[in-house]
Amino acid sequence: MKWDIRKIKEWKFYEHPQGITIPEAGNAHYYPTGSWRSQRPEINWDKCTHCLFCFIYCPDSSIIVKGEKVVGIDLAHCKGCGVCAEECPKQAIEMLKERV
């Protein structure tokens, strides 16, 4: 079966493929995936050199950058994967357990 994404609003339920359908690229912004997190990254600003490695590697685009400097973390979307802490060359990011 071939799907025509342009007609997604007219699809019957049985016409949807198994799994999920993402009709719009770049829609992660609308889903606050931060609620999945069990650990949160915390930046030590004394160690951070604003190299932006964390920004490049973050799979959720959750590192907030302004004027070519890291200014914070978007905790509404950060899933707490720890990639930023792993890749930071200055060990400036610590993963802390979320409180429940």
Closest distance of CB 26 from ligand SF4, Å: 16
What's the N-to-C CA distance of the chain in angstroms?
A: 46
Say how far apart CA 17 and CA 2 lie, in whole Å: 10
82 binds ligand SF4 (CB under 6 A): yes
Nearer residue to ligand SF4 within complex by CB, 21 or 49: 49
Half-sphere exposure of 98 (CA within 13 A, CB side): 15
Sole window of 4-12, 16-24, 78-86 interacting with ligand SF4 (rule: CB under 6 A): 78-86
Amino acid at 29: H
Contact call for residue 51 and ligand SF4 (CB under 6 A): yes
